[in-house]
Amino acid sequence: MKRVFTALIASYAAILYAVAQSPGADSSRTAGVAAFQAIMPVLHHPRCLVCHSAGDYPRQGNDLHQHIMDVRRGPTGEGSAPVHCSTCHQDHNLVGMHMPPGAPDWQLPPPDNPMIWEGLSVRQLCELLTDPKRNGGRDAKAIEAHMHTPLVLWGWHPGEGREAVPMSEHTFLTKVHLWTSVGAPCSRD
């Protein structure tokens, strides 16, 4: 039985190697890299950078100024006493121009994985997102699942007076799926 299992594993490995070496593998990788490059305008948009910018605090507005309530990341990313994120941010946008936006689990990434990507190149951001040591232990499918959370999808529904991200939600999620389905490749340059 052990011999059969070992032979099956060897056969499977040979098939995977052959697929990886096939001409289609390179075109899949190229398509994945192109898909990631296509989502960069979203990832570098103020709706994403309000939480993924340098510093230990969230940002506000398209100019990414420091949050006016002097909110800090805190030990879990949910703010620190006396001003936690949930003090103002609910699980939905409040009605009215420039009222506090909201989504379930409104918070910054935690301090042990702050996911700061402000100023990163395409390759640097791809490497950050795909490095489990720096992304909260996520594999490609978990990254894709995160992109489907209400907190991320809030960028398309940011509330009155805020600019939504510059790509349709459907196109973004399709590109994310294409990128992760071929192994979330990063550009080589």
Cβ neighbours of residue 46 under 8 Å, at least 6 residues apart?
A: 59, 61, 62, 63, 64, 163
Over residues 84-97, the pLDDT tens digits come to 999 999 999 999 99
Over residues 100-144, the pLDDT tens digits come to 999 999 999 999 999 999 999 999 999 999 999 999 999 999 999
Give φ, ψ of 11 to 5 degrees: -65, -45
**Is 64 inside a domain boundary?**
yes
**pLDDT of 8 strictly over 60:** no
Mean pLDDT, rounded, for 164-168: 96
Over residues 25-36, the pLDDT tens digits come to 689 999 999 999
**Is 21 inside a domain boundary?**
no
**Is 10 inside a domain boundary?**
no
**Is 99 inside a domain boundary?**
yes
What is the residue range of 168's domain? 32-181
**Is 152 inside a domain boundary?**
yes
Q: How far apart are CA 99 and CA 88, in angstroms?
A: 9
**pLDDT of 15 strictly over 70:** no
Please answer whether residues 143 and 130 qualify as being in contact, where contact means their C-beta atoms are separated by less than 8 angstroms.
yes
**Is 14 inside a domain boundary?**
no
**Is 177 inside a domain boundary?**
yes
Total number of domains constituting the chain: 1
Residue 66 banded pLDDT, cuts 50, 70, 90? very high
**Is 41 inside a domain boundary?**
yes
Over residues 135-145, the pLDDT tens digits come to 999 999 999 99
